[in-house]
Amino acid sequence: MNILKKSLFTAVCIALCTVLPMAFHAIPNGGILFSPMHLPVLLCGVITSWPFGLFCGIVGPLLSFLFTGMPGAPMLPQMMVELGSYGFMAGLMIRIMRTKSLSANVLVSLVIAMLFGRIVAGCARAFLFARGSYSLPMWISSYFISCFPAIILQLVLIPLICKALDKAGLLSEKTA
């Protein structure tokens, strides 16, 4: 995938970071349950590469905040750290994975990226954003329990989207 295609795909994912939260927030607790910004950021990292995934993870929440007010100002820096970590690690891991299956490569990359992003975000929240008032049970609750439907959705949809893009001939050889 050349730089123009990567840039265009990243722009679409950044736009989705604005549109998807508006759609999911129409559902009661939809924003919390489905983490709508996470999906395009993880997808961007897997499809393009780590620099584009990192960029999408930082710029997506920022533009969403500027256009829609979501996420709220107190959560914006935390979301930028978390989503930037997801995009970075998803893009890095997909280049490292060398199984014979695209789905396995994507799935393992996603799991590692999700764990990495949650650890980075938890540390950032504990040491920078909520110093002294953040605990391990709060981290587990907010990053694993309350967003469990989002985790499942991401682990199902992203490999399916990658498979469809691969069949359409839109993935690079490194991803496929």
Identify whether 174 is part of a domain. no
Identify whether 175 is part of a domain. no
At 31 the pLDDT is 67
Identify whether 104 is part of a domain. yes
Which residue is associated with the tokens 């994507």?
Answer: 106
Return the SS3 of 174. Answer: coil
pLDDT tens track for 115-163: 999 999 999 989 988 887 888 999 999 899 988 999 999 999 999 999 9
At 130 the pLDDT is 82
Side-chain-side CA neighbours of 83 within 13 Å: the count stands at 29
> Domain limits at 78?
3-167
pLDDT tens track for 50-70: 999 999 999 999 999 999 999
Q: What is the CATH number of the domain that holds 158?
A: 1.10.1760.20
Residue 49: pLDDT band (50, 70, 90) is very high
At 92 the pLDDT is 98
Identify whether 30 is part of a domain. yes
Please name the helix (run of DSSP H) or strand (run of DSSP E) that holds residue 71, with its range, or none: none
Identify whether 172 is part of a domain. no
Residue-wise DSSP of 77-91: HHHHHHHHHHHHHHH
pLDDT tens track for 98-127: 899 999 999 999 999 999 999 999 999 899
Residue 88: pLDDT band (50, 70, 90) is very high
Residues 113/89, Cβ–Cβ less than 8 Å: yes
First to last CA, the chain: 11
CA distance 42 to 53: 7
At 170 the pLDDT is 85
At 15 the pLDDT is 98
* Number of domains, the chain: 1
Instruction: Name the pTM for this structure.
Output: 0.93
Identify whether 162 is part of a domain. yes
CA distance 117 to 85: 5
Residue 83: pLDDT band (50, 70, 90) is very high
Return the SS3 of 35. Answer: coil
What type of residue is 33? L
At 27 the pLDDT is 82
CA distance 14 to 61: 8
Asked if residue 149 has a cis previous peptide bond (ω within 30° of 0), the answer is no
